[in-house]
A and B are shown apart, each in its own frame.
Chain A
Amino acid sequence: MRFLNPLGFLALLGIPVLILIYIIKNRYTEQTVASTYLWTLSEKFLRRRVPINRLTGILSLILQILAVILVAVIVSQPIISVNGAAEAYCFIFDGSGSMSMTEGGSTRFDEGRERIKEIINGSVKGSTYTLIYAGGTTETIFEDYTVKERAIEAIDGLERAYKDTGLSDALTEAQKYFNQNPAAKTYLITDKVYAQSQNVEIINVNGEAENFAVSSAEYAFTTGGMDITGKAVSYTGAAEVTLELRVNGEEEPLKTQKLSLAAGEEQDFTIETDLSDFASFELKIAEQDDLALDNSLTIYNIRHENASRTLLVSDGAIFLRSALTAAGNTQVDRISTEEYSGQTGYGLYIFENFVPDSTPTDGSVWYVNPGESPEGANFSYQTEVEARLPAAYSTSTKTAVRKVLSGVQEREFLLKKYVKLGTGGGDFTVYATCDGSPLIFSGANAYGNREVVFAFGLQDSAAFTLSLDCVTLISNLLSYSFPEVVEQTSFMCGDMLQINILPGCKGVKVVSPSGKESYPDINTVVSECELTEVGAYKIYLTMGDGTERGLNVFSALPYAERQPVSEEESFVLSGQPAAGGLPGIYDDLLIIFIILAVVVAVDFGVYCYEQYQLR
């Protein structure tokens, strides 16, 4: 036994003070009476007292001294240490997606958390607590904590993960701890069933959860509209479910379909619609089960997500407009050259047969047949030249060239004339030349934005404008000019979302389904962000002029986490467990406080009895 605060025994100085008070307070009142004869005689008539009763006169004092001693002991914080009474606890907590299943009103995750807290609360003081959490990542949340409250606080702060977290990393961590502490008691809290385990006590928090899910979905446009195909599954038993289709975030389902799901078998479904386009659609099983995370699946149209507005400044632009439309760019605002006054907020500016005073700063720029050198552009106008030879597409094998020229069938095309331009410094890529001069090329302007130059008028080359290669090339150049922010919109939780940082992009914000915000690095071409939640993620890009562009992607629950009960082979901590625990500490002063309260109460009772006796 030891005392954390031996100075607390200074409180014992209160005892002499108490005795002094008692002596002063309990002085006998002196009085002279006619005769003490009868008083003295009364002694013979007093009931005989047992010796212990003689203490009753000072019982109040005894109790008060006892109370002072108890206070001194409490203040001194005694600690009784018993060897081997405490344990080193190591908890491995599975925080994977399947732990989100709700059984009996609480999730498996919450149930597991409560089980850990129960063990901690029931442990002897002096024990140590270590938690290895296999959540979004596997990490040791705390190691050898000795304060229960601190450990419980950290456990309360854990957040569910939704990804397919394997326990192999957790096993490695646990093995390391076990090697250092062979006497440790290791618990694995999971909903997985292990055929074999060693040196670990597995606390299963799985139950008889019911779960059905929309496994996958695809769409295809047909002549009559759009067909949606996919698979749904019931993991625990046969189920009759209703599949609802909602389009473009509307509340009311566009279509519903009854599905008879067999246990454990994926069921194909097809929903035919007359949709010609969509921004997003959601497939959702209307019935409730124990894991809602996989009951719906949202598909976002990649083309819509990556689309951007285009400003076409042209006084004619018949060819260009039809080519843009044919290439799928439907968000084109056309104005005449007179109407142009430095408008901003567009992803792409196309100047046909016109050169602005200065180059736009907040988007890609196309110059078609420029008549002079615009400020900020990465080229310089030299002269207009009659074409003596056909224009030839580049035969370069460079990836950038091949990507832009992919799908282009012809090797050359005829044209009447072109403008001879001098290319500026920096990188530029030539896709077509005429008589050695760059005819179609791209680069970056003075503002870092992509720049595409057509060094000829489209009206001067019917061979080009009327060919399929024109549409193909323009489509490819649009993709070049509008680099896709995301290349796919459907992910599994745990996947890395890759975000192409657009030129001129001043900031990227990713908002998770639960509302958590993250800000990927923009000082790179492709930024990454891990999808740790299930549901729709919002991606916001802030462009140079302050405008914001939003995209959506969907993160689905991994397939492995949809199984209510998954069976694993083994969880084995190798090594020989050691006997013996840690010194247990008993410093719970509650009982002392209770005794103190009883003593004070009894003292008060004695006082009351004395007052009653003196009536």
Chain B
Amino acid sequence: MGYSVINEEFLSRIELLQSLLKNNVAGRFGGNHQSKTFGSSCDFSDYRDYVAGDDITKIDWNAYARFENLYLKLYLDERQVHTRIYIDASRSMAYGKSKKDEQAIKIAAALAFISVCEMDRVSIYAVRGGRAEEIISNMLGREAFYNNIDKLNGIEFDGDSRISEAILPSTVGYGDGFSVIISDFLTDSDFTAAIDHLASKKRDILCVQVLSREELNPKTRGKMHLFDSEDPSKYYRKNINREIVRAYKRALEFATGRIRDYCLARNGHYILAASNEEPDKIFLDKLITAGVFK
């Protein structure tokens, strides 16, 4: 990136955005609200099997005496959630003039700001290759946000990204907030495993697919030999005419629909954002419509 995406202007803009959201919707994105997961309040909710690593103080020893199995007592908890944002840092996000990378950073920053304003903890990861590199860890409060958010400007978009391979081994938390994946999802690698994994961890899932204007409505025509920016061995060679463009749009519809349907099937959320789309439109329209903000 030739300039800082996260700058004073942008920060003031997301502050305004956050204010608007707060005034117009409940803004239930992150902490200070009753979690649908279990916590340590006084309101008993349920039992669950003990797994290694659980707090042994939460074990219901009475139940153990009765059933000879270790169960943890679960309580509905008014607790702080942890928003984890994964940014696809592959080269395809930054290639050419698409500015998908900038849009991804802007969305991540905005979501992070909204979260910290709700007193949630926020971690931001860059998915590069098969790893999720932690860019900002456990950021809490506005001060921390302002101190750390500039780190997003330093994300380098290069190489490929294998989202599932990166997220599965990482710490994703359990039932403690949103997991946001921001990517163009233009990859053959399987991202569904990551979504399944997050769903199994009772995470709220939000997939933001960022596509460039050219990807949404290609203007390329004629005899073209297109090379993939991430893998030059991949190419597409055709005389691109109206028929092929029509097929492309059907493919785009199929690809976006597949992600959307996959997310919805797992109680997740999905939005499609154009790289040149204004944040206002994304946050005040698409995310509300998608039910991310309630």
Binding site for B on A (CB under 8 A): 26-47, 57, 610, 613-615
Q: How far, in Å, is A446 (CB) from chain B's closest CB?
A: 106
Verify if B128 is at the interface (C-beta below 8 Å from A): no
Instruction: Indicate if the CB atoms of A33 and B229 lie closer than 8 Å.
Output: yes
Verify if B20 is at the interface (C-beta below 8 Å from A): no
Instruction: Give the residues in chain A near B226, CB-CB below 8 Å.
Output: 31-33, 36, 39
Verify if B50 is at the interface (C-beta below 8 Å from A): no
21 inter-chain pairs at a CB distance below 8 angstroms, sorted by A residue, are A28-B237, A29-B222, A29-B223, A31-B220, A32-B227, A33-B227, A34-B186, A35-B92, A35-B186, A37-B188, A37-B228, A38-B251, A39-B238, A40-B234, A40-B236, A41-B254, A42-B247, A43-B247, A44-B247, A44-B251, A45-B247
Known A-B contacts A34-B100, A35-B187; A27 and B227 likewise in contact (beta carbons under 8 Å): no
CA distance in complex: A43, B228 (Å): 16
Instruction: Indicate if the CB atoms of A613 and B243 lie closer than 8 Å.
Output: yes
Instruction: Indicate if the CB atoms of B251 and A41 lie closer than 8 Å.
Output: yes
Instruction: Indicate if the CB atoms of B251 and A42 lie closer than 8 Å.
Output: yes
Instruction: Indicate if the CB atoms of B96 and A39 lie closer than 8 Å.
Output: no
Known A-B contacts A34-B92, A42-B247; A29 and B228 likewise in contact (beta carbons under 8 Å): no
Q: Which residue of A lies closest to B185 (CB)?
A: A37
Q: How far, in Å, is B287 (CB) from chain A's closest CB?
A: 24
Instruction: Indicate if the CB atoms of A46 and B224 lie closer than 8 Å.
Output: no
Instruction: Indicate if the CB atoms of B241 and A613 lie closer than 8 Å.
Output: yes
Q: How far, in Å, is B265 (CB) from chain A's closest CB?
A: 21
Instruction: Give the residues in chain A near B220, CB-CB below 8 Å.
Output: 31
Counting chain A CB atoms within 10 Å of each CB, the highest count among B230, B236, B244 belongs to B236
Known: A39-B226, A42-B248. 10 other contacts (CB 8 A): A30-B224, A32-B226, A32-B227, A32-B229, A34-B100, A36-B236, A37-B187, A41-B255, A42-B244, A45-B248
CA distance in complex: A347, B206 (Å): 138
Known A-B contacts A35-B230, A614-B241; A46 and B247 likewise in contact (beta carbons under 8 Å): yes
A interface, over-half SS: mixed
Instruction: Indicate if the CB atoms of A38 and B252 lie closer than 8 Å.
Output: yes
Instruction: Give the residues in chain B near A37, CB-CB below 8 Å.
Output: 186-188, 228, 255
Verify if B164 is at the interface (C-beta below 8 Å from A): no
Counting chain B CB atoms within 10 Å of each CB, the highest count among A27, A38, A43 belongs to A38
Instruction: Indicate if the CB atoms of B227 and A34 lie closer than 8 Å.
Output: no
Counting chain B CB atoms within 10 Å of each CB, the highest count among A29, A57, A610 belongs to A29
B212, B232, B255: the one contacting A34 at CB < 8 Å is: B212
Q: Which residue of A lies closest to B93 (CB)?
A: A34
A33, A39, A45, A610: the one contacting B250 at CB < 8 Å is: A45
Instruction: Indicate if the CB atoms of A614 and B222 lie closer than 8 Å.
Output: yes
Q: How far, in Å, is A37 (CB) from chain B's closest CB?
A: 4
Q: Which residue of A lies closest to B242 (CB)?
A: A613
Q: How far, in Å, is A25 (CB) from chain B's closest CB?
A: 10
CA distance in complex: A39, B251 (Å): 8
Known A-B contacts A35-B184, A35-B187, A42-B244; A615 and B251 likewise in contact (beta carbons under 8 Å): no
Q: Which residue of A lies closest to B227 (CB)?
A: A32
Verify if B235 is at the interface (C-beta below 8 Å from A): yes
Instruction: Give the residues in chain A near B60, CB-CB below 8 Å.
Output: none
Known A-B contacts A29-B224, A613-B243; A34 and B98 likewise in contact (beta carbons under 8 Å): yes
CA distance in complex: A64, B224 (Å): 23
Verify if B221 is at the interface (C-beta below 8 Å from A): yes
Instruction: Give the residues in chain B near A47, CB-CB below 8 Å.
Output: 243, 247
Instruction: Give the residues in chain A near B214, CB-CB below 8 Å.
Output: 33
Contact bitstring B193-229, A, C-beta under 8 A = 1, else 0: 0000000000000000000101100001111111111
A26, A32, A614, A615: the one contacting B95 at CB < 8 Å is: A32
Instruction: Give the residues in chain B near A46, CB-CB below 8 Å.
Output: 243-244, 247
CA distance in complex: A31, B242 (Å): 19
Q: How far, in Å, is B108 (CB) from chain A's closest CB?
A: 19
Verify if B239 is at the interface (C-beta below 8 Å from A): yes
Q: Which residue of B lies closest to A27 (CB)?
A: B223
Q: How far, in Å, is B161 (CB) from chain A's closest CB?
A: 11
Instruction: Give the residues in chain B near A610, CB-CB below 8 Å.
Output: 241
B93, B186, B221, B251: the one contacting A45 at CB < 8 Å is: B251
Instruction: Give the residues in chain B near A45, CB-CB below 8 Å.
Output: 246-248, 250-251, 254
Q: How far, in Å, is A610 (CB) from chain B's closest CB?
A: 8
Instruction: Indicate if the CB atoms of B225 and A28 lie closer than 8 Å.
Output: yes
